[in-house]
Amino acid sequence: MQPCSESIREAAKRLLLEKRVDAVIGFRKGTVPFMNEPFLARTPEQAGQLVWDGNCAINLANYLPKRTGSVAIAAKGCDSRSIVIHLLENQIRREQLYVLGIPCQGMTDKRRIADRLNGRQVLQAEETGGKVRVSGRDFEQSFERADLLQENCAICTHKNPVLYDELLGQPVEEQQIDRYVEIGKIESMPPEQRRLYFDELVQPCIRCYACRNACPACYCPTCFVDESKPQWLGKTTDPTDTRTFHFLRAFHVAGRCTDCGSCERACPVGIKVRLFTMKLEKQVKELYGYEAGVTQDERPPLDAFRPDDPEPFLG
Amino acid sequence: MNNPYLPYPVRIDSVITETEDRNLKTFKLVFLNAEDEKKFAYTPGQFGILSVAGLGEIPIGIATSPTEQGFIKFTVNKVGKVTSHLHNMKAGEIMGVRGPMGNWYPWDLLEGKNVVIIGGGFAFTTLRSSIVYMIDPKNRSRFGKIDVVYGARSEGLLLYKDELAEWEKRSDINMHITVDSSSDPNWKYNVGFVPAVTRQKAPSAENAYAMICGPPIMIKFTLPVLTELGFPPERIISSLEMRMKCGIGICGRCNIGTEYVCKDGPVFTLEQLAGLPVEY
Amino acid sequence: MPDIYYTAKENFAGVIERLMGRYRVYAPVKEDRCHGFAPLRSAAEADLGFSNTRLSPKGLFHPQAERMFEYSLAKDDPQAGIVKEAQKDFSPRVVLGVRPCDAKAFDLDDANFNTETIKDPWWVRRRETTTMIGLACDSPCSTCFCTSMGSGPYDTAGLDVLLVDAGEGYAAEVLSEKGKNTLEVTSGWSPVTSAILPLTHKKKAAEQSIGIAFDPAAIAKKPMLELYNSPTWEEVQFACINCGACTFVCPTCWCFDIQDEVCGDKGERLRLWDSCMFPLFTLHGSGHNPRSQKTQRVRQRFMHKLKYYQDKYNSGPACVGCGRCVQACPVNIDIRQVGRQMVSQGCSCPA
Amino acid sequence: MSDWEPKIIAFLCNWCSYGAADLAGVSRLQYPPNIRIIRVPCSGRINPKFILAAFRHGVDGVWVSGCHPGDCHYIEGNLYARRKFALLKSQLEYTGIVEPGRLHFSWISSAEGTIFAEMARRVVGSVVAAGPAQHFIKKQAEVA
């Protein structure tokens, strides 16, 4: 994947020198293994700091709403779909944007690596070909990259950007896969067990709102959490309040979520919050045949209707 | 251990609607326990935290002066959850008050000095407290000339109208009441914005302190006028507002740089503010 | 009586059990993927083989949500609307296995909660009734930088006893009267008369394994407004998504909100962790917000920790170098990097 | 438990289902009195927050009813609502917040007083069968 850093830097420098854009949104090398920092390069010199590797999971479309001026953005498949959602929802204008499309082989999940290492600290990590080599104070180990992918990446069906002005690298092969195996497992639980499952799932939540804020689709000026007249939910980690938060957060992105996994990656306590959004994604696909951000020709499903929409809620 | 978060229970003695838009009401509160009133010994410029059980707390400047005994008053603008509820409360109902909080106008420095008070809109509450305090027979001799410029958008939006009229009659205080505009042919005071009226009345800066409280836009345009009149920054005193929760410098939200507005303020001189980030 | 005691590891479960007979004991317990402080139900639950807990132990003193007061809102209740203290359990307790960095955080937070004039009653009571038994840190994380923040893996600040893993057993250094009393009731400790030399080596080794992050004293020396107006914040803030992860995991972030909650005709006043990262934190009722921009909020967090605190209390920074914010930040904003930028700001050479 | 009566909130649209409730009333049709009606301008006005708020406050069931699709006073309000309801109901049941039988939707025109009374009986019967709600009621916060 190393060559891609080069091509992003090159493209960014060119765009900035030509004054085609005011800035380029990408990543710069992180300070700890398996992390990169979203970065805004404003000058050709700063563009030299841009990198691309398997730790660029955070959805950069999150930095677009309300932006002024023109900007280039590095976009993987999921980012590009979120950009489409932003365009549909008028959060940014197409003419402001220059999309550097990046075919994506999936991003690594630092939690999965930690699980494999039993508490040993990674001090250095290196990606070469299909392998990830990690080393710490007194160990060195190599993993298959494919085994370390974020869960959303492992089941991704839109690795290639759906929208771009320039494609960096060759398109990668898309996989045919059942995305909803895990959701199916939960659906098949008896209702009581399902309730307990979700109670336990959100129990560690500290209400830091990292999941909400990492989400490109969450840009309401005042979030329902902060509304006070009336106040819809309490602000403690009380179980009912926490469940209300996670339910409504997911519902707000129904039909707009591109399963980029930023929410789950951002969660400091490791809650699998995608289990909420994935179910909605599945429903939207089944009922309305819609996939978020794949096309600009169709409104998001909750902003549209058909006369013969199904009514499974009746009766 | 004395719990600084625990409000003293008070009874609403009366509620007065101050302005014609009905957005400002003055609540006269009486302590349920007489000893609490002693604990709530305050100085003009300080604020209290009003507590409404079930709704929350709000920081509000104390509108009464310690020279008035037996009750305290707060003038409250209706903006949010707590204030909206408070506006629907009636005499006889129970609520709470914590405080007094913060610092106060520097009365020791003001001793023997002329005082120019400039207020706008509903930010007149602690200035009212200060005026009542200074013109009290026991205190009046401690201060020199008192000039008051007080403006509101219209006559109906002036606070404490009865008292303003009384002060107008007194000879030991120069009142300059103004409204932005008036359609009332019988309006006998000034018309014009506070900065303009201040310039026109030109209270002398000699041996004088200015105390200024009002909306940011008024302060912004009045400060240059005061400088023109010769007030140095250390003799211009202002009181700041900030979102607050604890009121005692612990909860962490009301800081401007190193200073907590609730504990180290709300009263600052312009000189002090110049050394702090402009984040208020 | 000497200041250092020793017990074999095989006796340690017994020590914990005896502690549990006298105190409420909190210790690191293995959760799903990480450790967290929890009240022990059995000695076996305590797991001292952890790098550090995911959340700091600050919640044991300043809980994420705390019932401050309660009141009745019943129409026929003559006491309705009168806010009253809530009953709490302040019986003596022991917090076992606190890392030295986290323990130092309590000393730093005391400057806020326990001052000459104003004392936070819940914080102060809990501090008084709690014995802190620390555990020296022999394998610091890559994100640790305690030594730069005036602490260290064997720091004794904020502790009553410091345990050191001595291989076959634990050495316990008694640091206060409270610590001494606590060890006495547990028995099973034998006094150590001479200094244990290998432990001094271990301490040095642990300290040396931690790199220097930045020099907070250099930040203290810079004028506040120069740092405040620095262009560096524009770069630092870009990635920030304004979640509260850094502040909630931080052992020294004490800011809180006060909220009333009503359930039927009973109500309570709660205080909950709040975060300077949230726009609501400073939003006035009028709609004005002195820190409406992300840059302002990000700057506030770092300035508060590394500059305002130092200036206000004439001490070191309000950071103990535990590295949790570095680990928890979804977008890799690294306080060590920010600190370096603050130090180098205004200097012509790059840091 | 024997004297337990379910509390049910019905969100009825102003133009159709509220009219139907009115008609049922003036026609003296009998239906159980467990339903508390909240009139909304359109079923499209229903926000998931409302339904969660009702359950949080301890109701045992929620019933939402609007005009028949195609008959919306605002032309398409209920057509948008329809998609929202489909996702909402499945998601509430999926996450276990609402057990089956507690949340009901219907389309009832202002001429359908009898259908309204009949649906009311069905909703109450179904909520009775589900029993008193227990799991999603906001109680005193579990805090230190």
Is the four-CA dihedral B75, B77, B78, B80 of positive or negative sign?
A: negative
B277 in a structural domain = no
| Structure confidence by residue, pLDDT tens digits, A29-61 | 999 999 999 999 999 999 999 999 999 999 999
pLDDT of residue A155: 96
Distance CA A43, CA A28 (A): 14
Task: Look over chain A and give the mean of its residue pLDDT values, rounded to a whole number.
Answer: 94
What ipTM does this complex have?
A: 0.93
Same domain flag for B198 and B116: yes
pLDDT of residue A117: 87
Same domain flag for B70 and B157: no
Chains B and D touch (3+ CB pairs under 8 A): no
Instruction: Grade residue C190 by pLDDT with cuts at 50, 70 and 90.
Output: confident
Question: Among B42-46, B102-106, C205-209, where is mean pLDDT lowest?
Answer: C205-209
Task: Report whether pLDDT(A197) > 90.
Answer: yes
Task: Look over chain C and give the mean of its residue pLDDT values, rounded to a whole number.
Answer: 92
Same domain flag for B151 and B55: no
- Are B252 and C256 in contact (CB < 8 Å)? yes
CA-based nearest distance A213→chain C, Å: 6
Q: What percent of chain C has pLDDT over 70?
A: 97
| CB contact C38 to A (< 8 Å) | no
Q: Which of A30-44, C38-52, C204-218 has the highest mean pLDDT?
A: A30-44
pLDDT of residue C271: 95
Q: What percent of chain A has pLDDT over 70?
A: 99
Q: Where are the domains of chain D?
A: 8-128
Number of domains in chain B: 2
| Chain A nearest-CA residue for B85 | A229
Same domain flag for B83 and B112: no
pLDDT of residue C350: 45
Q: Where are the domains of chain A?
A: 2-109+149-303, 110-148
Q: What is the pLDDT along chain D (144 residues), one digit of tens a residue?
A: 578 999 999 999 999 999 999 999 999 999 999 999 999 999 999 999 999 999 999 999 999 999 999 999 999 999 999 999 999 999 999 999 999 999 999 999 999 999 999 999 999 999 999 999 999 999 887 788
Same domain flag for B13 and B124: no
Q: What percent of chain C has pLDDT over 90?
A: 81
pLDDT of residue C348: 47
Per CATH, the number for D8-128 is: 3.40.50
Distance CA C118, CA B220 (A): 35
- Neighbors of chain C by Cβ distance (3+ pairs < 8 Å): A, B, D
Task: Look over chain B and give the mean of its residue pLDDT values, rounded to a whole number.
Answer: 93
Distance CA A299, CA A301 (A): 6
| Structure confidence by residue, pLDDT tens digits, B201-252 | 888 899 999 999 998 889 989 999 999 999 999 999 999 999 999 999 999 9
- Are A204 and C270 in contact (CB < 8 Å)? no
Distance CA B8, CA B12 (A): 13
Question: Among A196-200, B96-100, C48-52, D123-127, where is mean pLDDT lowest?
Answer: C48-52
Mean pLDDT, range C331-336, rounded to an integer? 96
Instruction: Grade residue B2 by pLDDT with cuts at 50, 70 and 90.
Output: confident
pLDDT of residue A137: 83
pLDDT of residue C196: 67
| CB contact C249 to A (< 8 Å) | yes
Per the model's pLDDT, the better-predicted residue between C195 and A136 turns out to be A136
CA neighbours closer than 13 Å in the CB half-sphere of residue B46: 22
Q: What is the CATH number of the domain that holds B77?
A: 2.40.30.10
pLDDT of residue C1: 41
Instruction: Grade residue C194 by pLDDT with cuts at 50, 70 and 90.
Output: low
Residues of D with Cβ-Cβ distance to A301 under 8 angstroms: 83
Instruction: Grade residue C195 by pLDDT with cuts at 50, 70 and 90.
Output: low
Instruction: Grade residue C33 by pLDDT with cuts at 50, 70 and 90.
Output: confident
pLDDT of residue C2: 52
- Are C65 and A262 in contact (CB < 8 Å)? no
**Maximum distance among all Cα pairs of chain A, rounded to whole angstroms:** 65
- Residues in B whose CB is inside 8 Å of some CB of A read 80-81, 84
Q: Are strands B94-101 and B174-179 parallel, antiparallel or unpaired?
A: unpaired
Range of the domain at B27: 8-100
Q: Which CA distances in Å does C135 have to A14, A65, C163, C164?
A: 54, 47, 5, 6
**Exposure of C129 by Cβ count < 10 A (0-12 exposed, 13-18 middle, 19+ buried)?**
middle
Q: What percent of chain A has pLDDT over 90?
A: 90
Mean pLDDT, range A183-205, rounded to an integer? 95
B274 in a structural domain = no
| Structure confidence by residue, pLDDT tens digits, A73-102 | 999 999 999 999 999 999 999 999 999 999
Task: Report whether pLDDT(C345) > 80.
Answer: no
pLDDT of residue C189: 87
Residue C115 CB neighbour total at 10 angstroms: 15
Q: Where are the domains of chain C?
A: 4-208, 216-344
Of C55, C65, C89, C70, which Cα lies nearest the Cα of D143? Answer: C65
CA neighbours closer than 13 Å in the CB half-sphere of residue D128: 14
Q: Which of B7, B83, B258 sits opposite C311 (nearest CB)?
A: B258
- Are A231 and B81 in contact (CB < 8 Å)? yes
Instruction: Grade residue C197 by pLDDT with cuts at 50, 70 and 90.
Output: low
pLDDT of residue C314: 92
Q: Are C258 and C271 in contact (CB under 8 A)?
A: yes
